[in-house]
Structure 1
């Protein structure tokens, strides 16, 4: 039975002192990219994303946090490198996906199936019908425009998040995928050949986790602090 873990942390809560300490774990390439961000919130998202990815990977495969290297790949998801003595089969099976929105960082991991993850903050001030018409197919935008007004914001971001997560899932080969229609005959689609999407709960956000194979369970962990040592204590480590 396949499963995944979804980790969530609020990067807005990171202090300057913690950010300086956390940045020490970044590689030279990561640090160079980190320092290029102009907006503070985007810098914090990147930093917490890389720290959280190392932490989640270390928990999933049972190796030390600082034994994991991350290689930058322009235009693609980062590549994790485990110690040379680590079993290659586990390294190949380990899958992850990162996303961020409004300071929140999400990381999904699995040893069973490739993943695609997206998180989007709900923004009721946007013209949902107009944006949907520009961003979605004719069938998808028609489905959205015919919904009750009270349902449109959540439906828009749920659809957007599913499409983003599915794009990530289908982009593992480095090729530009052609996304399927997510509304067919006025029916919202959450699965298809080689994919399924599941919505995960986070107030005021849409969170979508797409997987190549059906997931029997998704463990969702909301980390309350902003450092790996505090996360370990929260999870009951000595």
Structure 2
């Protein structure tokens, strides 16, 4: 039974003091990239994204936060480095994917399957028809013209998010100049050869997780606060809470 976890955190809540404290967690390569961002919101998305990645990897692998190292790779996703004596069982494969939008940061993790994650804010002011005519295939454009106007924004961003997540899933293993069609005839596709897409819940956003293998479940965890100690306390309290009666 393959599974994944979708972790989310609000970087808009990050104060200057919190940011200054978290910067100490970054490696030299991460710090160099952090300093190149001109916009504060983008700096904070990057900073909290790298801290969130360390936190989720340490929780998933059962390691201490400071045992996880991140190596920046220009033009590619960052690479996680585990301690030399940490061995992932051969039947498992640790995978992660990061995404951000409008200050929100998400990280998908799994020990069962490679992943691609995308988060897109539902921007009602965007000219989605013009963007869709450039980004989507003829079949996808035709499908997008069918929903009522009230549902068109969600349909557009759901399609866009699936495409972005699918690109992240497939780009490490093959040329993705052409992504698979997400509409077959008039039917919206949620899976194909080597990929399976599922939506996650985040208010006012479209969130897509694409996996190489089907997922039986995706656990969603929204982390309160902006620092690993607060997140650890939140998870500990959740673990101690009594289960709801059946």
Normalising by structure 2, report the TM-score.
Answer: 0.93
Report what 2:28 is aligned to.
28
For 1:123 and 1:63, locate their aligned partners in 2 and report how far apart those are by CA, in whole Å. Answer: 38
User: Which residues of structure 2 form unaligned runs of 5+?
Assistant: 241-246
1:67 Cα shift? Answer: 0.5
Shift of 1:125: 1.2
How many residue pairs were aligned?
238
Q: Once the two structures are superposed, what CA deviation does each residue of 1:26-66 show, in whole Å capped at 9, x if it has no partner?
A: 00000000011110000000000000000000000100110
Residues 88 and 220 of structure 1: is their aligned pair in 2 closer, same or farther, counting only changes over 3 Å? closer
How far apart, in 1, do the equivalents of 2:8 and 2:59 lie?
A: 15
Q: Which residue of 2 aligns with 1:119?
A: 119
| Unmatched tracts of structure 1, length 5 or more | none
Question: How many Å apart are 1:116 and its aligned residue?
Answer: 0.2
The SS at the match of 2:46 is helix
- RMSD over aligned CA atoms reads 1.6
Aligned to 1:86: 86
What is the match of residue 185 of structure 2? 185
Structure 1: how far apart are the matches of 2:177 and 2:159?
Answer: 17
Q: 1:91 to 1:13 in 2, by over 3 A?
A: farther
Partner in structure 1 of residue 196 of structure 2: 196
Distance across 2 between alignment mates of 1:86 and 1:6:
23
Partner of 2:138: 138
* Counterpart secondary structure, 1:235: helix
Offset, 1:126? 1.6
Q: Which runs of 4+ in 1 moved over 3 A?
A: 88-92, 174-177
Listed one character per residue, the Cα deviations across residues 120-145 of structure 1 (whole Å, up to 9, x for unaligned) are 00011122222211110111011111
TM-score by length of 1: 0.96
- In structure 2, what is the Cα distance between the partners aligned to 1:88 and 1:219? 21
How far residue 173 of structure 1 moved from its aligned partner, in angstroms, is: 2.7
How far the C-alpha of 1:90 sits from its partner, in A, is 6.6
- Give the match's secondary structure for 2:119: strand
Against the structure 1 CA distance between its residues 108 and 165, is the aligned structure 2 distance closer, same or farther, given a 3 Å change threshold? same
**In 2, Cα distance between the equivalents of 1:130 and 1:141?**
10
Deviations 1:148-184 (A, max 9, x none): 1111100000000000000000012374453101011
Partner of 2:243: none
Matches of 2:201 and 2:188, distance apart in 1: 19
Larger mean Cα displacement after TM superposition, 127-136 or 155-164:
127-136
Q: Secondary structure at the match of 1:25?
A: coil
Partners of 1:36 and 1:10 lie apart in 2 by 22
Name the structure 2 match of 1:44: 44
Q: Which moved more, 1:215-224 or 1:173-182?
A: 173-182
